[in-house]
Structure 1
Amino acid sequence: MKTPELDDSETVVARHGETRGGGTFEFGEGEKGDALIIAVRCQGKGEIEVSVKPVNVGFTLECVDSEASTSTYNQVSVAGVEKKGTVSIQAPSSVRWSMTIGRGEPEQAEAPEPSGEAE
């Protein structure tokens, strides 16, 4: 299973190849204003839980048996993500996964579409 790729505008700070079970991986300090990017790919029946410290962000991925998932790409842009920290993954031994951690410009939220109604 290949590790997930990042966009050309993003910087890879850590990669972890195919693994079973859990693990904790460190990442270094980033530039103020940069987002933290966690891209994960998994295969096998079960869920994996991803948690990011020190910002206390987490997400769960449902993995399937038949083929490797497309990369799940999560960008974290909360206060404190420029600090060094860890990404921890908890997964059953039936699930294989790989991960790429990166840094990049935060995505801009799209402005809501005008409704066309006058107030």
Structure 2
Amino acid sequence: MRVTKDCAYPDCEACQHPDCIMSETDITALLKRRRRKEDPEAYRQKQRDYRSRIKATLPHCDGCESCVLVRKEKQDGYRRLCIADMRLIEQKVANSPQWCRKRGQNGT
């Protein structure tokens, strides 16, 4: 980002230069910040919608016919086991792991 002493950035409307000395990416970022400030709830909703679309397209282990729940021996609860690969699936994985065959079918 090139900013000189007499540049009014980020208040570009008050700029005295006939041609903007800011790069195109800086101006784009400025306009984006302004839109977010005007309606922050709309921006949050846009983020929620995007995340839900992504989540819906990811393959999930609970829908895979190769995975079953097995009881833990030392603790209460269950773990998911992939029968095809004989691998335990970590609890923190919300969608299928990278090595899952179901993931390869969807091309993700």
- Say which structure, 1 or 2, has more relative contact order (CA 8 Å, 6+ apart): 1
Greater strand content: 1
Greater helix content: 2
If the length of structure 1 is used for normalisation, what is the TM-score? 0.20
If the length of structure 2 is used for normalisation, what is the TM-score? 0.21
